[in-house]
Chain A
Amino acid sequence: MKHWFLMLLIGCFSLPAHAVLKIDITEGVEGAAPIAIIPFKWSGTAMLADSDITQIVNSDLARSGKFSPVAEKDLLARPQRPQDIHFKTWRVSGVDHLVIGSVDKTSADRFKVDFRLFNVYRGEQVLGYSFTATRASLRTTAHQISDLIFEKLTGLPGAFDARIAYVTSQQFSGKPPEYKLQVADTDGYNPQTLLTSNEPIMSPVWSPDGSKVAYVSFETGLSAIYTHDIHTGERVKMAAFKGINSAPAWSPDGKALAMTLSKEGNADIYIMSIKSKSLRRMTKHWAIDTEPAWMPDSKSLIFTSSRSGKPQLYRLSLDSGARPKRITFEGRYNANASVAYDGKKVAFVHGKDGLYSIAVLYLDTGLMQVLTEGPLDESPDFAPNGSMIIFASQDRGRAVLAAVSTDGRNKQRLALSDGEVREPSWAAERN
């Protein structure tokens, strides 16, 4: 396999107060489609370094594992208008698609952004859009361009114009550790800190509409589940029962949270109505039951249970009253499911011979595929289009975020400039 070590994003020039994630492609990219993205032409202003649309689209597409953008120094030419493109030359060089575009500053805080996507073999335009942006929204526009190109060429909706939530922790000598709940663009930019605490923060998860994050915080000295509106900052304490308050999961309609409570003495799964906070107990077993994940049709939950002696995944039908059905059988440790939005695949942590990897189970066939090598990978979460899985990993003893394409072909690391970063959640949509 070909190994790439591309550093795609560095620095925090625009946001010095925040640590910024940087992304390295660590493995790939066999079968990735070559695409040439000609540097966008800027007029009315010099190129804004933190909103370099060319660079953003380049790294988004490379990150997906499905595209292999031509390095800027290797570009054969830099056409700026459609009539300047010499398709035959690009064809000979093996490039499938070509993107040109421009950014015009039209007034004090207005930019007009155009781009066009060409099929090199057919010699014709296949996509063209024009956007209006502000200084602050230029990066978002770039991610939208990536999404449009991705969708046009793969048939899958893009997932670049979205947010991820994650937890960071930093140790300072002689001081208590500092935990932060942050949300950022999927490339790690625009980090926003929702909560800082000297006590652990865990299990952040996006509401389906992308407006809220639910999580567990130990800030009072005991665990409690909160919901947090990322725009208004409004927090609601949802569960602070005796025992553990853990593993919140939004129902697909956003009206309920599945969660793990041990208020009856043992970890079991409950469903709480967000509006009334009324609880419905879903499991009652002496073993550990936790980590609920909703199927997209809301009719069942996948969860982790130790009822067989070791943690395994089970599927619980919410209305039938039938006993949960075990769905994982390979290996002694299978836990922490994330269900793809198509309801056909489940990503989870697979432990074997002391190594913890990310694996995918295909629900219709029961086939399992191990995607990563561990040794301590955890917290998998599907991208909204199901093409990638973001997860927490360790790199030389340091906690980092990583992503793997669902077919296992492409891997990348998202490292925070300092501190440890973990428990990523990928929002279904930007709100």
Chain B
Amino acid sequence: MKTRIQQLGLLAVFVGTLIIGCAPATKPDDAVVAEPGAQVGTVGGEGVAGASALQGMTVSYDRNAINDPKNVLSIKTIYFEFDSSDISEDDTEVLKHHGKYLSLHNDVKIRLEGHTDERGTREYNVALADRRAQAVKRLLLFQGASSAQITIISYGEEKPAALGHDEASWKLNRRAELVYE
């Protein structure tokens, strides 16, 4: 588990990178270049201790960026602790980029699917999964995405990603998925 200081350090390096504006790893398409705030860069950088999952990932908001496996926007699943809808700092960072992307492409629509693991009752889990998707939505809106771009569907425990009955499966199932439409 990373310490908070390491996470803050990562964040600082990340913000710095954005400001300095590293060479674009992906060539933005014309529409995006024309828009203000369409920064391109990489997350993290050399020398960040305690590797984050985000370290070294590309940041760009061109239209196809969501399909680039190296882009931070390729992270489309957010994981949660049991009976919680709190979003980790790393995932908050990921969602900032998705929010930004949506704000720059206001014709793009996204479906947020909330899920839980199988423990606890099914209908409570539907409400819990809804809360997870709502928490994701709030962060997207905060970055300028609009409500009209976002649909939420809560499946509760009905659509597990992993079928086992142990923590290894459960942690993969406590999730919100961002599905670009």
Q: Which residues of A contact B (CB under 8 A)?
A: 200, 202-203, 218, 221-223, 242-244, 246-247, 260, 262, 265-267, 288-291, 304, 306, 310-311, 333, 335-336, 349, 351, 354, 356, 376, 378-379, 394, 397, 422-423
Contacts and interface: CB of A to CB of B under 8 A. Distances in A.
B131 A203 contact: no
Nearest to B147: A242
Nearest to A336: B121
Given A333-B120, A378-B120, 9 more contacts: A202-B122, A242-B152, A246-B123, A246-B127, A262-B134, A288-B124, A290-B123, A304-B123, A306-B83
Interface stretch (B9-17, B23-31, B62-70, B154-162): B154-162
B118, B124, B131, B159 — which one has the most chain A CB atoms within 10 A of its CB? B124
A243 B121 contact: no
B122 A260 contact: no
Contacts of B120: 311, 333, 335, 349, 351, 356, 378
Contacts of A266: 131, 134
Contact of B124 (A222, A291, A422): A291
A376 B122 contact: no
Interface of B: 83, 118-124, 126-128, 130-131, 134, 151-156, 158-159, 165
B153 A223 contact: yes
Nearest to B159: A200
Closest 5 pairs between A and B when the two form their complex, measured CB to CB: A267-B127, A200-B158, A336-B121, A247-B123, A288-B127
Interface of B, helix, strand, loop or mixed by DSSP: mixed
A335 B124 contact: yes
B3 to A, nearest CB: 26
Contacts of B153: 218, 221-223
A243 B130 contact: yes
Nearest to B83: A310
A304 B122 contact: no
B119 A202 contact: no
Contacts of B124: 288, 290-291, 304, 306, 311, 335-336
Given A351-B119, A356-B119, A202 B158 contact: yes
A209 B145 CA distance: 48
A376 to B, nearest CB: 6
A8 to B, nearest CB: 27
B152 to A, nearest CB: 7
B35 to A, nearest CB: 29
A397 B124 CA distance: 21
B123 to A, nearest CB: 4
22 contacts: A200-B155, A218-B153, A218-B155, A218-B158, A222-B151, A243-B130, A244-B126, A247-B126, A262-B134, A262-B154, A267-B127, A288-B124, A288-B128, A290-B124, A290-B127, A304-B123, A306-B124, A311-B121, A311-B124, A379-B122, A394-B165, A397-B165
Contacts of B128: 288
Given A243-B152, A376-B165, A262 B130 contact: yes
B73 to A, nearest CB: 23
Contacts of A247: 123, 126
Contacts of A288: 124, 127-128, 131
